[in-house]
Structure 1
């Protein structure tokens, strides 16, 4: 489920024009989700989405190549943010912890937009043809993470399998947290579920002695 969220680094000061672009993009995404949830994917056109967002179809295509892309919430800034989070983390931190911290910020951003994300997940459940886009987006985000990890530890990502493996594991932890969050209708914080998944990884994935035990929990 990675690669489907717009993130802006807290250290980046956006100008008025950039803020307006983000607002327009968000309005188009929201309109697309609401219309598809109501009518189904086949019953919604780019023109419908543009009209609902009060922009022209030409403006729509400045942000998205098709209506399906508007539904995923994928932003060109998302992968850049993930790579930056890995590259800028303190050097003493283990790689797995670096990825957890970066993804926790993504999770917190998603949590803040809980209502729209619940709608997005429902739209994807109702329209399985959209899932292939999530797979492609997730694969691209994993590649960005792997490249950033390789640079961080000074290895060749092609010759050394570690960066690709740890990026795939981190991505899987995020997907599991997202699935649990969706099934539980966001009754628990997404960030807490993500931390729980990473705690399992850090502990070496031991099976719980008690089936009702959620596993190692991060102390407050």
Structure 2
């Protein structure tokens, strides 16, 4: 959704702050009682916003829970699309995964809260935004468009992207399973396995 207000304007910053407050209130309620047990009306009451405002920020309760994951996927797609033309496909994808990793590390606690809530929300877990094959296809198609090719990515490009993306998922699992002294160094090591 695009805003009518310039990025960084006071109105846009207020909107972003209000939206974040609604999301924080919702995640707190979801964590306490479970996703399915919380209504939009209850979220609005805790966040002190009208339902109309809620639906301006999030079309559905499910969208609220999916937004961080959509933002991350959009960030990867944007990174691929805007990479300098002299970079190789490998450099482009690896750079996008490193940028995503930096975002994950900065926002770790929030992402982990969302993931814990998501574990108890079976209907949301099936959303296309969380299906890795769909994300990998989107990244591969964006990589093809960056090259100036029309249509969908070929199987080689899709396999290449899937390997790099699976490396990122292994990295994320490592971070959730154990203490990692140098998370970005570990990501570089994992991504180097695909060279």
TM-score range, shorter chain: 0.7 to 0.9
Residue of structure 2 equivalent to 1:29: 23
Whether the 8 Å contact between 2:30 and 2:38 is mirrored in structure 1 is yes
Aligned-residue RMSD, C-alpha: 2.8
Q: Name whichever structure is richer in helix by fraction.
A: 2
Moved over 6 A (4+): none
Whether the 8 Å contact between 1:173 and 1:198 is mirrored in structure 2 is yes
Residue of structure 1 equivalent to 2:188: 195
Whether the 8 Å contact between 1:157 and 1:163 is mirrored in structure 2 is no
Whether the 8 Å contact between 2:80 and 2:146 is mirrored in structure 1 is yes
Structure 2 residue runs without a partner (length 5+): 1-5
Structure 1 pair 15/57, CA: closer, same or farther in 2 (3 Å)?
A: same
Distance of 2:122 and 2:186 partners within structure 1: 25
Distance of 1:137 and 1:47 partners within structure 2: 29
Structure 1 pair 23/166, CA: closer, same or farther in 2 (3 Å)?
A: farther
Distance of 2:108 and 2:129 partners within structure 1: 22
The normalised TM-score by structure 2 is: 0.79
Q: Which SS does the other structure have where 1:73 is aligned? A: helix
Residue of structure 2 equivalent to 1:57: 51
How much has 1:62 moved relative to structure 2? 1.3
Query: Residue deviations 1:41-78, cap 9 Å, x none?
Result: 22211111222222211111112222222122347655
Structure 1 residue runs without a partner (length 5+): 1-11, 203-220
Paired residues, number: 190
How much has 1:91 moved relative to structure 2? 2.8
Distance of 1:88 and 1:165 partners within structure 2: 22
Distance of 1:177 and 1:36 partners within structure 2: 27
